[in-house]
A and B are shown apart, each in its own frame.
Chain A
């Protein structure tokens, strides 16, 4: 019993006798109270040390002086982590701090520049909100720190138990691929015997890539810089920034190229555009069909290219006959003469023109007709014969690491099954992460690892996804910060930030393909965080499949590079190395990646999946009520999805400029009595919330635009928590049939003035 009488204890300094409770074993004489973190068991330093003492003021002065004079600065070539582009840059480090960053000229995405995120996001390394230790959800449902050994051993016990009761097919991995992660994560799953590997693709590019695959076998890069005309449907180079693309569009603008932005919102790329074509969201397919119809009607397509390369042209031609420019005007709101003009200008510019392939935007994944829109766009570009033509659309070369010594790097046995859910999505070019949520809900999937993926907040409806993952027997999240996904985890494993880790070589497809390297820039800051390669290796060892991971990441990197005639030391020194012998050459018709190398204007697979054989009009989900607006989202140049919002250097910009505001057209605002700066209530069956509004002429009526970064629901992210609203909260759960896209703009909301 330890209880003592406090009052007595603290009565006063006179009644010392109160303290006579056993003085005999005075602690001050004991080793324990002398033991020091800094000075060991002696607990003291030699007196001579006194000379080494310096008060803070004197130190600060000396420090300031030494900063301005010569100070050791180390440099490393590395890859940015501000978004998925992974631009090459040189990091300058002094005194353990990142003091300067310069984009690497030789990297095809940075070309000597970094964007706002590249500089600002780097502060994540020192963030107060960093995960510092492995966490486990305790009996009260709260996370608490545990040690790595316990975490790994408990996780591996659960993995083994799931495998023995339900098989490895009940385990899955969701990741946003990163240079090391995309090797180690899938390899771990394969070693366990599971094919269930998923990416963020369902919420980014799955519909697009799948649609392109049906027509031309894969995705392309628009040669914007050399184009005479490029159409951007939904994509904005100035909002989702990759420095090389900004440079390209600026160059095209300077060359007098006709650059058209099709977007319900006048986005930031407008500066370089010749024309803004506002469009009713979700109806981009109608515009493309109308333009295609114009080309055919006027005979302004590349008949030679079509004759030589296209399968199904006649059937397609018949199928699109009803989709005139006039018809399209009714559906998408773009005037028929504008549609005719766009088609004619594209035809005149051909083959130095294309529709840009985009990402998430209009046909990446966001509508129920995104996959079909992607098909129609691939068909349109094909009509103009732009493939691999200067200024057109290019299939750029890439280089891959060759086979490795199987003695040192043995591959786990191939898994014959398909990823869970993939057979339900016959058109999907890869598995859709939404299948994992469904599998968790039904109980088919029992354990999920998330690496560098905040699926719950970013891929679809967070409430729905959270409920799915709460049913799991095992949910493990590997990340740098707590996330909405981690809130549903049993275990959270802390990774060191991208600045503190070395990763495997990253091969980049480009006109001259390159390989680049994310080298370690800073020492690992928190001693209990680990790089992804170590985390998966620990897990693999504990799960009994360590033999597939019996090498260091550097050994693997060097071995991979040697298969392409390079070495790790060499790549470290340069950061990026190119393969000029593989450089792209204009002019040759590509061998299309379809089964027969042809361009397919009609598709049996699509017909089998319930779509028309030719990509014709498919409506997005029906409109909302008469007083409802379609909720659309978009990026801002300072953030990367929800990954960057907690970094103060970037979130301060949001706060300084009110960037979390939703946009409303002046017409819709007037109808609702809403003025710029008002607070509005946004609601639908899924969610509701209030936020400030920006009333603008830059938005087409009929929709409300919400920046897609905000509404963080993780209190641990103290800078971002509760700033703005989260678009995904308003999105009903839906999977695009056949393609697997997340349908994230199939949502309608009411917008009302507050007060």
Chain B
């Protein structure tokens, strides 16, 4: 079994929102349903200014706080370490949204259920897409996806090379690593 994760190199993120709209198209999401959100930080004083854009989405935490609070088991750890939401079992109580340390779960305004990034590459293997939509769509190749448990995978090598780390220490055991 694989343990899938993602690496996001924020030194390459231009904040163009392509991953957001590509994800909406390819996954058939609503116009107001975004699985990826962005935080932009500006530092320094004019004219020596640095800007960083950080895309955030479900981190597929090994210890998924959302799954721990879900009363129906809708939010659960699925195969290959991918946190899933069984839409039919979601009762829309929103506990998981409160529990998520990264605020990356969104309520579907039509169904009332909660949804979030699905690491779509796994379903994409069957539909012929090469890679997660956001990884494939990124204009600058800021994203890498792969098996964290395989030391020879591109993502494992990149994490080792760059010292990529979770976005914030101590919140959970996430599977998205950031180069900053």
**Cross-chain contact A268 with B21 (CB below 8 angstroms):** no
By the criterion CB–CB under 8 Å, are A269 and B14 in contact? Answer: yes
Q: Are A649 and B140 in contact (CB under 8 A)?
A: no
B15-52 contacts to A (CB < 8 Å): 15-18, 20-22, 24-26, 28, 31-32, 34, 37-38, 42, 44-47, 49, 51
- Given contacts A99-B28, A114-B137, A637-B14, 4 further A-B pairs with CB under 8 A are A241-B139, A652-B32, A698-B42, A698-B46
Query: What residue of chain A has the Cβ atom nearest to residue B141's Cβ?
Result: A250
Using known A-B contacts A268-B15, A271-B51, A652-B32, determine if residue A119 contacts B21 with beta carbons closer than 8 Å. Answer: yes
Q: Is B103 an interface residue (CB 8 A)?
A: no
Chain B positions within 8 Å of A115 at CB level: 16, 18, 139
Closest residue to B23 on the A side, CB-wise?
A: A119
Is the beta-carbon distance between A278 and B46 smaller than 8 angstroms? yes
Cβ contacts B36-74/A at 8 Å (1 or 0 each): 011000101111010100000000000000000000000
- A100 near B26 with CB under 8 A, answer yes
Q: Are B24 and A637 in contact (CB-based, < 8 A)?
A: no
Verify A271–B21 contact, CB threshold 8 A.
Answer: no
Whether a CB of chain B sits under 8 angstroms from the CB of A129 is: no
Shortest distance between the CB of A142 and any CB in chain B (Å): 30
Q: Tell me, yes or no, whether A231 is within 8 Å of chain B by CB.
A: no
Query: For the complex, is A653 an interface residue (Cβ under 8 Å from B)?
Result: yes
Q: Which residue of B lies closest to A100 (CB)?
A: B26
Inter-chain contact B140/A246, CB cutoff 8 Å: yes
User: Does B162 make an interface contact (CB < 8 A)?
Assistant: no
Residue of A nearest to B15 (CB): A268
A113 within 8 A of B: yes
Closest CB of chain A to B52's CB: distance in Å? 9
Residues of A within 8 A of B45 (CB): 697
Residues of chain A within 8 A (CB-CB) of B165 are none
> Closest 7 interchain pairs by CB?
A119-B21, A637-B16, A648-B31, A238-B14, A120-B21, A116-B17, A119-B25
Residue of B nearest to A648 (CB): B31
Interface centre among B17, B51, B137 (most CB of A within 10 A): B17
Instruction: Pick from B11, B17, B25, B42: contact of A638, CB below 8 A.
Output: B17
- A sample of 6 cross-chain residue pairs with beta-carbon separation below 8 angstroms, ordered by A number, consists of A113-B18, A119-B21, A247-B140, A653-B17, A697-B42, A697-B46
**Residue from the list B15, B22, B42 in contact with A696, Cβ < 8 A:** B42
Using known A-B contacts A271-B11, A700-B46, determine if residue A652 contacts B18 with beta carbons closer than 8 Å. Answer: no
B24 touches A119 (CB 8 A): yes
A579-595, CB under 8 A of B: which get 1 and which 0?
00000000000000000
- Nearest CB in chain B to that of A651: its residue: B31
Q: Which residues of B contact A638 (CB under 8 A)?
A: 16-17, 21
Q: Within the complex, which residue of B13, B16, B139 is in contact with A247, where a contact is CB–CB below 8 Å? A: B139
- Does B31 lie within 8 Å of A649, measured CB to CB? yes
Total number of A-B contacts with CB less than 8 angstroms? 116
Q: Could you tell me if A649 and B24 are in contact, using CB atoms closer than 8 angstroms?
A: yes
Q: Which residues of B contact A667 (CB under 8 A)?
A: 46
CB distance from B167 to the nearest CB of A (A): 18
Contact across chains for A698 and B51 when beta carbons are under 8 A apart: yes
Q: Would A238 and B16 be within 8 Å (CB), given that A250-B140, A271-B11 are in contact?
A: yes
Do A243 and B139 have beta carbons less than 8 Å apart?
A: yes
Asked if A650 lies at the interface with its beta carbon under 8 angstroms from chain B, I say: yes
Residue among B32, B44, B49 with most chain A CB within 10 A:
B49
- CA–CA, A648 to B21, complex, Å? 11
B176 to chain A, nearest CB (A): 20
Q: Does B12 contact A (CB under 8 A)?
A: yes
Residues of chain A lying within 8 A (CB to CB) of residue B51: 266, 268, 270-271, 698
Cβ of A98 within 8 Å of any chain B Cβ, yes or no, is yes
Least distance between B51 CB and chain A CB atoms (Å):
6
Kindly report which residue of chain B lies nearest to residue A98, judged by CB atoms. Answer: B25
Residues of B within 8 A of A101 (CB): 22, 25-26
How far apart sit A650 and B18, CA to CA, in the bound complex (Å)?
Answer: 10
Q: Using CB atoms, name the residue of chain B closest to A73.
A: B127
* Measured CA separation A657–B141 after assembly (Å): 23
Task: Identify the interface centre among B26, B47, B139: most chain A CB within 10 Å of its CB.
Answer: B139
- On whether the beta carbons of B14 and A649 are closer than 8 Å, the reply is no
Smallest Cβ distance from A120 to chain B, in angstroms? 4
> Which of under 10, 10 to 19, 20 to 34, or 35 or more describes the interface residues of A?
35 or more
Q: How far is the CB of A33 from chain B (nearest CB, A)?
A: 36
Chain A minimum-CB-distance residue to B22: A119
CA distance A525 to B26 in the complex (A): 21
> Min CB distance, A427 to chain B, in Å?
35
The answer, yes or no, to whether A417 is at the interface (CB within 8 Å) is: no
**Is A666 an interface residue, CB under 8 A from the partner?**
yes
Q: Which residue of A lies closest to B130 (CB)?
A: A102
Beta-carbon nearest neighbor of A113 in chain B: B139
What separation, in Å, do the CA atoms of A102 and B13 have in the docked complex?
A: 20
Q: Mask for B126-139, Cβ within 8 A of A = 1, else 0?
A: 00010000001101
> CA–CA, A272 to B51, complex, Å?
11
Q: Considering the chains assembled together, what is the distance between the CA atoms of A513 and B23 in angstroms?
A: 32
Cβ contact within 8 Å between A652 and B140: no
Interface string of A113-150 (1 = CB under 8 A from B): 11111111011000000000000000000000000000
A665 on interface, CB distance cutoff 8 Å: yes
- A123 CA to B28 CA in the complex, in Å? 11
Q: Which has the most chain A C-beta neighbours within 10 Å: B21, B37, B46, B140?
A: B21
Q: A119-B22, A649-B21 are in contact. Are A656 and B34 (CB under 8 A)?
A: yes
Q: Which residues of chain B from 96 to 141 have any CB-CB distance to chain A below 8 Å in the complex?
A: 129, 136-137, 139-141
Which residues on the B side are within 8 Å of A122 (C-beta)?
25
- Minimal Cβ-Cβ distance residue in A for B133: A100
Indicate whether A327 reaches chain B with its CB closer than 8 angstroms. Answer: no
- Complex alpha-carbon distance, A659 and B44, angstroms: 22
Would you call A409 an interface residue if the criterion is a C-beta within 8 Å of the partner chain's C-beta atoms? no
Alpha-carbon separation in the docked complex, A588 to B20 (Å): 44
A268 to B42, CA, bound (A): 12
Contact: B21 with A278, CB < 8 Å?
no
Docked complex Cα distance between A48 and B49 (Å): 73
A632 vs B18: C-alpha distance when bound (angstroms)? 25
Query: Min CB distance, B154 to chain A, in Å?
Result: 17
**1/0 per position for A628-672, CB-CB distance to B under 8 A?**
000000000110000000001110110011000000011100000
Check B38–A116 contact: CB distance below 8 A.
no
A276: interface (CB < 8 Å): yes
Tell me whether A116 and B31 are in contact (CB under 8 A): no
- Taking CB as reference atom, which chain A residue is nearest B138? A113
A269 partner residues in chain B, CB cutoff 8 A: 14
Q: Say whether A114 contacts B34, CB under 8 Å.
A: no
Given contacts A246-B14, A246-B139, A268-B14, contact A276 B24 (CB under 8 A): no
Question: Which of B15, B22, B136, B137 is within 8 Å of A637, CB to CB?
Answer: B15
Nearest chain-A residue to B44 (Cβ)? A697
**A532 CB → nearest B CB, Å:** 25
With both beta carbons as reference points, the residue of chain A lying nearest to B31 in the complex is identified as A648
Is A271 a contact of B13 with CB atoms below 8 Å? yes
Q: Quick check: B22 and A114 within 8 Å, CB to CB?
A: yes
Question: If the complex has contacts A122-B25, A271-B14, are A653 and B137 also in contact, measured as CB distance less than 8 A?
Answer: no
Least CB distance, A254 to chain B, in whole angstroms = 10
Chain B min CB distance to A659 (Å): 10
Interfacial residues of chain B within 131-158, with CB under 8 A of chain A in the complex: 136-137, 139-141
Q: Given the complex, which residues of B lie within 8 Å of A102, measured CB to CB?
A: 136
A389 to B131, CA, bound (A): 37
